[in-house]
Structure formats: structure tokens, C-alpha cells
């Protein structure tokens, strides 16, 4: 959530930033916010003035009564009562304006970083570089949805029977591969200085608003009406909300956390080869890394997080590429985001496996997450997060790229976790 003070002090920059996101009425939105804020501040001043007058009259009553000026004392009583009522009405008006202003701010996205290219869709994301060699598969190589059936390691039909589409069963070596990937990702995160967290997989409404899933992504989350709880779309949400409302000290920073959770998303996209098999699910496992940083360190932290995820892909032997997301593909919360995609040999296409985002102070403002620096000044922190990694498409690429006539070769870094080196 943008700070009103930032909007006021950087009006043109905010308007241009929103226009970069293809928001046509950006100027109107900004003017409305500033008008409401001016009305709020004026109402607060009028309320404070009325309270001051009421207090002044209240102090005069006793003195007037003692001096025998009963008529004047009654006038002072009436004035005090009138101003108290006026202050009460103004307080209600201030609360109403603040709630309306807050709601409008919730719907304004973050301002893109200057390096973010213009673009309306993912087709206009900028490919920064590619690394690794694409696999040279033999004729007749199969996509992963055929491989998992051939080796009986993942069962979509059984998942559909028990739960519905997009909720597969992992079996035997398929389940072991899942566990191996999670352990590998977590061990690498811990080695990189992240604190391992096992968070809840349900959140309350305050947490959803804190990290920006509400009101923006309400339709994409599973909601339990009886308990007013949401199934998490990513571990970012509960982990970042650990610090909601906190005032940290500078010597406590940075906060670096990593957590493995199942993730739940109602939106599963359109049907077809691009979302077939493991390419898009309603439930999937993911290891998430989260950092809470001082503003001066967030850009460096962002780059380190991207390099950490790239290192995981390199150790798995997967060819990948790094993308800079364009303005139209940027999430509501992010001001800068890099995607990492792996090459899927049998599908002959790139699959997104990680998004690493810097939110600046946008999330922290919603979370009221601040720190006190060494000069005793209090300011908002910066929050960052990234998939490290989401399992389904990583597993899909491993299965497709490593298929041989004898079976599917397991990457060496996973073999100590799986206990086998081939799926046959």
C-alpha cells in the first residue's frame, strides 16, 4: 500500500507509475486520494479545535460559578456541550474518511521500478539471459504426463476421484522425489542463512490484507466460511505476517526465513497442453524464501535471492533463463520482479518455476512493519520473497530432460535424499 505522504510528495511520479501499469484514470485516482486526505486532515483539525474549545469552556465553568456568574457559567456549559458533540461528530467523520481512504489505497498497485519495461502481458517480459544447455532428447521422447503414467509415480485420475482436478497423488518414487526436492531446497536455504520455518497453511483475513492477497486475489484462494480462514496460496503469506505490526531494531535485521508448505490456488487457467499434467495445479508444494530488509539493502538482497535460486537450478542440471517482468505482468505488490524459467525438453517450452519480487515498503505499510534505526528514527522496512522453488514444473523438467531408454536419471544432488539414482 502506497503511503499518502509519498503520493503527495511524488504526485507526478505516482501518476506516471500507474499509467505504466495501464491504469487509464491514474490522474483521477491520485487527485481523489489527495482530496480525501486533505478532507481528513481538515476534519481532524476541526475536531481538535472543538475539543480545545470544549476543554476551555469546561475550565471556565468552575471559576464563573465561584464568582457568582451563574448565567455565564450556564453559557460555558452549553458551549462545552456543543463543542463536545461537534467533536464527536467530527471524530465519526474522520473515521469514515480514513476507512474509505484505506480501502481506495488497498486497490492502488505499487509503482514499478524505473528499470521495469513497458508491456501489457508476459509476452513482453525481457529475457535477460539463458544458462545451461538444452537437452538433446531422442526421437520418441515423452512429455512428463506420459512418463508419470509409464512409471506409475503420479496419479491424476486417483486425485480426481478423491478430490478433483488439479490434486494429484504422488506415489512410490514420485513421492520420494517430492520429499527429496523439498529437503534439498530447505537444506540449501539454511546453508544460505535462512531460518527454517514451518508455518500454518491457513490464514485469517488480517494476514491476507497484510501481504496483499486481499482484496486483490480473493477469488483465487480457498475460503472456509465457518472459520473465516483462507488456505494459503504461498508460504510468503504466513511467514511475512509473523512480523505484522512489529517494530524491529536495526541490529535485528535482516530477517531471512525459508519455509516449505503446500500451496492452494483455485484459479487453474485454461485447458490445453500448456496447463496439462504438472504444469498447473490447485495444490502443489513449494519452498519459499522471505527477507525483511532495511531500504538501503533491499536491492542487494533481491539480487542475492535471484542468484540463490539460479544456484539451485544449476545444481539440478536444468537449463534456465532469467526474465525481467514488464509493467503489465507485475503483481500488485511488487515494484520489481524477476522470473526464472526452466526448459522442458519434451514440451519444447519454457516453464516458470520461480518469481522473486521486491515489494519496497508497499507490503510493510499494509503490515505496519517498521524498524528503529541507530538514530532512533522509525521507518518502514522493505519485504522481499521468492520461490526456491515450486516443485511441480521443476519435477516436470527433471522427468522430461533426464529420460533415457533405461529410465529417468535422478540428479546427483538429489540421490542422497532419494536413495536411488534412476526411476525405472
Q: Are 236 and 211 in contact (CB under 8 A)?
A: yes
Chain centre to alpha carbon of residue 224: 21
- Judge whether 355 is annotated as a binding position: yes
- Judge whether 21 is annotated as a binding position: no
- Judge whether 385 is annotated as a binding position: yes
Q: Give dist(CA 252, CA 371) in Å, integer.
A: 9
- Judge whether 370 is annotated as a binding position: no
Q: Give dist(CA 323, CA 422) in Å, integer.
A: 32
- Judge whether 10 is annotated as a binding position: no
- Judge whether 115 is annotated as a binding position: no
Q: Give dist(CA 49, CA 55) in Å, integer.
A: 10
Q: Give dist(CA 229, CA 324) in Å, integer.
A: 34
Query: SS3 string of the chain?
Result: CCCHHHHHHCHHHHHHHHHHCCCCCHHHHHHHHHHHHHHHHHHHHHHHHHHHHHHHHHHHHHHHHHCCCHHHHHHHHHHHHHHHHHHHHHHHHHHHHHHHHHHHHHCCCCCCCCCCCCCCCHHHCEEEEEECCCCCCCCCCCCHHHHHHHCCCEEHHHHHHHCCCCCCEECCHHHHHHHHHHHHHHHHHHHCCCEEECCCCEECHHHHHHHCCCCCCHHHCCEECCCCEEECCCCHHHHHHHHCCCEEEHHHCCEEEEEEEEEECCCCCCCCHHHCHHHCCCEEEEEEEEEEECHHHHHHHHHHHHHHHHHHHHHHCCCEEEEECCHHHCCCCCCEEEEEEEEECCCCEEEEEEEEEECCCHHHHHHCCEEECCCCCEEECEEEEEEEEEHHHHHHHHHHHCECCCCEECCHHHHHHHCCCEEC
- Judge whether 125 is annotated as a binding position: no
- Judge whether 141 is annotated as a binding position: no
Q: Give dist(CA 412, CA 13) in Å, integer.
A: 49
- Judge whether 353 is annotated as a binding position: yes
- Judge whether 352 is annotated as a binding position: yes
Q: Which residues are annotated as a binding site?
A: 234, 265-267, 288, 352-355, 385
Q: Which residues are annotated as a binding site for ATP?
A: 265-267, 352-355
Q: Which residues are annotated as a binding site for L-serine?
A: 234, 265, 288, 385
Amino acid at each position: 500500500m502506497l503511503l499518502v505522504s509519498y503520493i503527495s510528495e511524488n504526485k507526478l511520479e505516482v501518476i506516471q507509475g500507474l499509467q505504466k501499469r495501464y491504469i487509464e484514470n491514474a490522474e483521477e485516482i491520485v487527485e481523489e486520494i489527495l482530496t480525501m486526505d486533505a478532507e481528513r486532515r481538515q476534519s481532524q483539525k476541526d475536531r481538535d479545535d472543538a475539543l480545545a474549545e470544549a476543554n476551555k469552556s469546561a475550565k471556565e465553568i468552575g471559576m464563573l460559578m465561584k464568582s457568582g456568574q451563574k448565567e455565564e457559567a450556564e453559557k460555558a456549559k452549553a458551549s462545552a456541550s456543543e463543542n463536545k458533540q461537534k467533536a464527536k461528530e467530527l471524530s465519526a467523520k474522520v473515521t469514515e474518511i480514513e476507512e474509505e481512504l484505506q480501502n481506495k489505497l488497498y486497490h492502488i498497485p505499487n509503482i514499478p521500478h524505473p528499470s521495469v519495461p513497458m508491456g501489457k502481458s508476459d509476452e513482453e517480459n525481457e529475457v535477460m539471459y539463458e544458462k545451461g544447455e538444452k537437452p538433446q532428447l531422442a526421437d520418441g521422447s515423452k512429455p512428463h504426463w506420459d512418463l508419470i503414467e509409464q512409471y506409475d509415480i503420479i496419479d491424476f485420475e486417483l486425485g480426481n476421484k478423491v478430490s478433483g482436478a488439479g490434486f494429484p497423488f504422488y506415489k512410490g518414487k514420485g513421492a520420494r522425489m517430492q520429499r527429496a526436492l523439498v529437503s534439498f531446497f530447505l537444506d540449501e536455504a539454511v546453508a544460505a542463512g535462512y531460518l527454517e520455518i514451518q508455518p500454518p497453511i491457513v490464514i485469517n483475513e488480517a494476514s491476507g490484507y497484510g501481504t496483499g492477497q486481499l482484496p486483490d486475489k480473493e477469488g483465487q484462494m480457498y475460503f472456509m466460511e465457518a472459520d473465516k480462514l483462507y488456505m494459503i496460496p504461498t508460504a510468503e503469506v504466513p511467514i511475512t505476517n509473523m512480523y505484522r505490526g512489529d517494530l524491529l531494531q536495526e541490529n535485528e535485521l535482516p530477517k531471512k526465513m525459508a519455509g516449505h508448505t503446500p500451496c492452494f490456488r483455485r484459479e487453474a487457467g485454461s485447458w490445453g497442453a500448456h496447463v496439462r499434467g504438472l504444469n498447473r495445479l490447485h495444490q502443489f508444494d513449494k519452498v519459499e524464501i522471505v527477507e525483511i530488509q532495511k531500504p538501503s539493502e533491499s536491492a542487494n538482497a533481491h539480487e542475492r535471492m535471484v542468484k540463490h535460486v539460479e544456484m539451485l537450478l544449476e545444481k539440478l542440471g536444468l537449463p534456465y533463463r532469467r526474465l525481467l517482468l514488464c509493467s503489465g505482468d507485475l503483481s500488485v505488490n511488487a515494484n520489481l520482479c524477476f522470473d526464472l524459467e526452466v526448459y522442458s525438453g519434451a514440451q519444447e517450452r519454457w516453464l516458470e518455476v520461480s518469481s522473486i519480487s521486491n515489494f519496497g515498503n508497499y507490503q510493510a505499510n499494509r503490515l505496519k512493519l517498521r524498524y528503529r534505526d541507530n538514530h532512533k528514527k522509525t521507518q518502514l522496512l522493505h519485504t522481499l520473497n521468492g520461490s526456491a522453488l515450486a516443485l511441480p514444473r521443476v519435477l516436470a523438467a527433471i522427468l522430461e530432460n533426464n529420460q533415457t531408454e533405461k529410465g529417468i536419471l535422478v540428479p546427483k544432488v538429489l540421490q542422497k535424499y532419494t536413495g536411488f539414482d534412476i526411476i525405472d
